[in-house]
Amino acid sequence: MTTDRIPAVFERLDERFDGIRGDSELRILFDDGRWLEGPAYSPQGRFLLFSDIPNDRVLRYDEVSGRVDVWASPAGFANGRTVDTQGRFVECQHGYRRVVRREHDGSTSVLADAYGGLPLNSPNDVVARSDGSVWFTDPSYGILTEYEGHRSEEHIGSRNVYRWAVESGAVDASLTAVVDILTQPNGLAFSPDERLLYVSDSELRTITVFDVDGDGLRDERPFASSDAGYDGLRLDDQGRVWAATGEGIHVYDPDGTLLGLLRLPEIAANLEFGGPQRNTLYITATTRLYAIRVTVEGAKRL
Q: Phi first, then psi: what are they for 48, rounded to 5°?
A: -120, 130
- What is residue 166's predicted lDDT score, i.e. its pLDDT? 87
80-128 per-position pLDDT tens digit: 999 999 999 999 999 999 999 999 999 999 999 999 999 999 999 999 9
Residue 262: name the closest of 89, 76, 23, 63 by CA.
Answer: 23
- What are the residue ranges in the chain where pLDDT is below 70? 1-3, 168-171, 302
Contact 263, 9 (CB under 8 A): yes
Cα–Cα distance measured from residue 299 to residue 189, given in angstroms and rounded to the nearest whole number? 10
Look at residue 15 and give its three-state secondary structure.
Answer: helix
What's the rounded Cα separation, in Å, for the pair 96 and 149?
A: 8
Read off the amino acid at residue 224: A
Helix, strand or coil, per DSSP, at residue 126: strand
Q: At a CB cut-off of 8 Å and minimum separation 6, what does 245 contact?
A: 226, 228, 229, 230, 231, 261, 267, 268
| Cβ contact 216:228 at 8 Å | no
Q: Quote the CA–CA distance of 80 and 189 in Å, as a whole number.
A: 12
> Domains in the chain, ordered, with CATH?
5-293 (2.120.10.30)
Q: What pLDDT shows up at residue 302? A: 67
User: How do residues 178-212 score in pLDDT, each as one tens digit?
Assistant: 999 999 999 999 999 999 999 999 999 999 999 99
